[in-house]
Structure 1
Amino acid sequence: MAFREFDTAQISRRNILRAGAWLGAGAAMGGVPLGRIALAADTGTVWANVAKLQSDYVASRKVANMVAALGFGQKAPEFLSQGTLAIGQTAPAGPDSLYRIYSMTKPVTGMAVMQLIEAGKLGLDQPLYEILPAFKDMKVQKTYDGSITDVEPAKQAITIRHLLTHTAGFGYAIMQKGPIRQAYIDAGLAAGQVSKLPIPGLDGGTQAPSLKAFADRLATLPLVLQPGTKWSYSVAIDLLGRVIEVASGQPFDQYLQQHIFDPCGMTSTFFRVPAKDVPRLTTNYFVVNGTPLPADPGRQSIFAEAPPFPMGGSGLVSSARDYDRFLRMLLGYGLIDGKRVMSEPAVRLGASNLLPEGIVTKGTFVDGAGFGAAGRVGLGARAGTYGWGGAAGTIAFVDFAHNLRATMMTQYMPSEVYPIHSAFPAAVAKDLAAMAAR
């Protein structure tokens, strides 16, 4: 997504949506004995530290609500819910309340790509131009965030791997500065939406009217980095929506519905919230000087209207129950309720470190992590984890090593105002350690 800067120092364009960065979850899980966790799961669990985290935030009115879904293996999740759909309302939030999950959309898109690789319709190291010819002869800024006319040819072709791992060299208006950022906005490449309200600083311009138009316009702009040289958060996952359309022969949103949502039993995940489901939609807040202010009220939400195009990087609304089903499918290595959604090799590959050789994340906001199919992958002591967070405070991950899945839903922006992206995994880890001790 791309937005002009806020006047308040607390809300910057760089942190408003980049915080899909799920910070520290893998590290928090390290060292907990798997066998003893499984035994604890069999004898019942109490997620006391997660509940305390929720109560601390909700009671102090930092957020309107927090809903967590936690489960082991293929067992039914335990839901922990606190708060109401909006501050001052009485309707309680719960497992079926709807949340703008923003960048938690990315792993869904990433795993859809893995399905198509599995089906032989895409190749992990296939050049992008074989799918979208307009990307064959890309130009690259000679100076990062510098002139958009002082450019040089790309030294290698963009591949599907590059797109999945944010190493294709594309920019993001929430990350870039200078003329390239404005060029993205002017071309309708904001790739996100927040509110219908006239909030200063949130005008991302008129967005491209379709995924095809989005892709065609993106191909005309220079890359900010040479492909395959550096991890840099970007619009690449939104572009993958168009790749999926061309490779599958289906509109992107229809592909997700038929190949992920329906077989996973996800009945509450939408690019546009149907009118009958709008009463379940929570309110999203901007936190300004410590005060949460309504930015996108549930019943007047921009997500109740059709988006310009289905945004594979930030566009989904979902519930704790629904996203847990996506995680259940991943933790089942593609299998859920007896239905095969993906092959086991496809899940294992997508949840592994797919970064091109020689690329590390040191110095980025995913410092020390690997990257798989549009999600962060734990390395070393963090091995076995895959997940991502969203701009409005949501976070979800699977921990294959400990047979665990965990989701936390809430709604506030920017997500960096509160440390929930790191505090939730830390609370989960404390509860797991307590289970192991018992």
Structure 2
Amino acid sequence: MRILRSLLTFTIFLLLACCKETPKSDARQDDSNLVINERAKGRIDSVLKAFVDSGNIAGVSALIFEKDKEVYFNAFGDADREAKKPMDRHTIVQIYSMTKPITGTALMTLYEEGKFDLDDPVAKYAPEFANMKVYVGEDADGNPILEETNRPITIRDLTRHTAGFGNADNSKLGKLIAKADALNRNNTLEKMAEIMGKTPLLFHPGEQWQYGPSVDVQAFMVERISGQPYGDYVREHVLDPLGMQQTRYLIPENDRHRFAALYRRTGEGILERDTVTYGNYTKPWPLTRGGSGLTSTIDDYMRFAQMLVHRGTIDSVQILRPETVELMATNQLADSVTERHFLPSKGQVGFGIDFAVRVAPPSSSEENNGVVGEFFWDGAASTLFWVDPKNELTAVLFVQLFPYDPIGLHKSFRDAVYGPIESNQ
């Protein structure tokens, strides 16, 4: 298996190198100042096709805008192999954590209205979180030992994953979190918050970066502060104004033929169709999560990315002010936050308000490629998007692959867009 994967990686490297060296014709010299020139398009096509041909993904699509123009779109493979439905720009996919930046945007519309300050305690609006405790171990009888938090959880903590919330897979208190089951889809956001307020934290607020349910609490805060159900609020203040009618929690029956299958990779070139997640999107559930749960099309999500690269406005519709987008795209993590879960695997990044933020160029060719100042996030099914303000570039990559990117797809796609890292140093 390692040998086959190494061969695929080597093949992609050769494709990148080959496309990099292809001379431009006279007719194409006017694209020399663009990131996505003809050579880049060739690299991207070759890389994405290679992953499909290897059998490690069923289908993939990519859409890139640069300087207000669509400069790349292509799709390879199938959205549904069994039904022989090709991947295309109308395919609906599960975006998982790419829901999070949309939720953060909804929250920040309330911030702009003066409804809260980022350093306000969450408990000011949600007394459910007024008496949080931190798990520090167990006594001789196996009972949890808890202590008072050093300070309250703030809304800023929610937006940058420093609140202290753990996950069911945390070795320390995972059993307590699993038993509490706050994110059960049959809970409302209010019930979720009630349960989480009684569940111990993994660490004191502000001390670590731990990816978890903070953005689900953001959705609850939107609901609590606005007085409007979260699903209605995000639809009214973000999705509909952007024209994102295809971005939904529930896929109506007449659109389900466009819904991509999700595949689990169990070995080199071996994919098994997932049968678990489909029902999450074909029936209504009480829990409208902020951290996951939306489906989208590649053009819909590009509308969101284009709004961000235009600093909050698209087609004369303003969602956020420029200074708010700048704040969201600014690293909010102090150097003292040294425990950062998996964040270092994303490259030389910090974290802003619901985005990773690149703070330095790649330090080696092994890291994810990118440009300082870009902000981005991805999803559990291996989807990805980023905003590159320096080049006025936005990219969206759609695929439906579990577990999260086990094949280096994101790294290869970024290298195809910008060229191999060694050429930038």
SS of residue in 2 equivalent to 1:402: coil
Q: What amino acid is aligned across from residue 294 of structure 1 in structure 2?
A: R
Distance, in Å, in 1 between the alignment partners of 2:196 and 2:257 is: 36
CA contact (8 A) 1:161 1:355 kept: no
Q: What amino acid is aligned across from residue 217 of structure 2 in structure 1?
A: L
1:373 aligns with 2:356: no
Distance, in Å, in 1 between the alignment partners of 2:90 and 2:114 is: 36
Which of the pair has the greater relative contact order for Cα pairs under 8 Å at 6+ separation?
Answer: 1
> Structure 1 pair 265/431, CA: closer, same or farther in 2 (3 Å)?
farther
The normalised TM-score by structure 2 is 0.83
The residue that corresponds to 1:302 in the other structure is 280
The residue that corresponds to 2:146 in the other structure is 151
Highest Rg: 1 or 2? Answer: 2
CA drift of 1:398 comes to 0.5
The residue that corresponds to 1:214 in the other structure is 192
Percent identity (aligned): 29
Distance, in Å, in 2 between the alignment partners of 1:66 and 1:42 is: 18
CA contact (8 A) 1:47 1:431 kept: no
1:317-332 superposed matches below 5 A: 317-332=295-310
CA contact (8 A) 2:92 2:296 kept: yes
Distance, in Å, in 1 between the alignment partners of 2:105 and 2:378 is: 16
SS of residue in 2 equivalent to 1:401: coil
1:355-370 superposed matches below 5 A: 355-356=333-334, 358-360=336-338, 364-366=342-344, 368-370=348-350
Distance, in Å, in 2 between the alignment partners of 1:66 and 1:422 is: 15
Distance, in Å, in 2 between the alignment partners of 1:357 and 1:117 is: 26
Q: What amino acid is aligned across from residue 394 of structure 2 in structure 1?
A: R
- After superposition, the C-alpha distances for 1:250-288 in whole angstroms (9 at most, x for unaligned) are 111111111111111112111111111111100001111
CA drift of 1:170 comes to 0.5
CA contact (8 A) 1:73 1:328 kept: no
> Structure 1 pair 301/81, CA: closer, same or farther in 2 (3 Å)?
farther
1:170 aligns with 2:149: no
Q: Which runs of 5+ in 1 are unaligned?
A: 1-35, 192-205
SS of residue in 2 equivalent to 1:39: coil
CA-based RMSD of the aligned residues comes to: 2.6
Q: What amino acid is aligned across from residue 187 of structure 1 in structure 2?
A: A
Distance, in Å, in 1 between the alignment partners of 2:216 and 2:418 is: 32
Larger CA deviation: 45-54 vs 98-107: 45-54
CA drift of 1:88 comes to 3.9
The normalised TM-score by structure 1 is 0.81
Within the candidate set 376, 381, 387, 1:398 is matched to 387
Within the candidate set 407, 410, 418, 2:399 is matched to 410
Within the candidate set 118, 121, 126, 1:132 is matched to 126
Q: What amino acid is aligned across from residue 387 of structure 1 in structure 2?
A: F
CA drift of 1:338 comes to 1.4
1:188 aligns with 2:188: no
1:210-249 superposed matches below 5 A: 210-249=188-227
The residue that corresponds to 2:76 in the other structure is 82
Q: What amino acid is aligned across from residue 298 of structure 2 in structure 1?
A: A
CA contact (8 A) 2:90 2:297 kept: yes
Distance, in Å, in 2 between the alignment partners of 1:247 and 1:359 is: 29
The residue that corresponds to 2:416 in the other structure is 427
1:251-400 superposed matches below 5 A: 251-290=229-268, 291-296=270-275, 301-356=279-334, 358-360=336-338, 364-366=342-344, 368-381=348-361, 382-400=371-389
CA drift of 1:148 comes to 6.4
> Structure 1 pair 348/293, CA: closer, same or farther in 2 (3 Å)?
same
CA drift of 1:307 comes to 2.9
Larger CA deviation: 357-366 vs 321-330: 357-366
The residue that corresponds to 1:29 in the other structure is none
Q: What amino acid is aligned across from residue 119 of structure 1 in structure 2?
A: E
SS of residue in 1 equivalent to 2:303: helix
CA drift of 1:301 comes to 4.2
CA drift of 1:207 comes to 4.0
Q: What amino acid is aligned across from residue 154 of structure 1 in structure 2?
A: T
> Structure 1 pair 356/287, CA: closer, same or farther in 2 (3 Å)?
same
Distance, in Å, in 2 between the alignment partners of 1:171 and 1:407 is: 29
CA contact (8 A) 1:395 1:421 kept: yes
CA drift of 1:183 comes to 2.3
Q: What amino acid is aligned across from residue 400 of structure 2 in structure 1?
A: Q
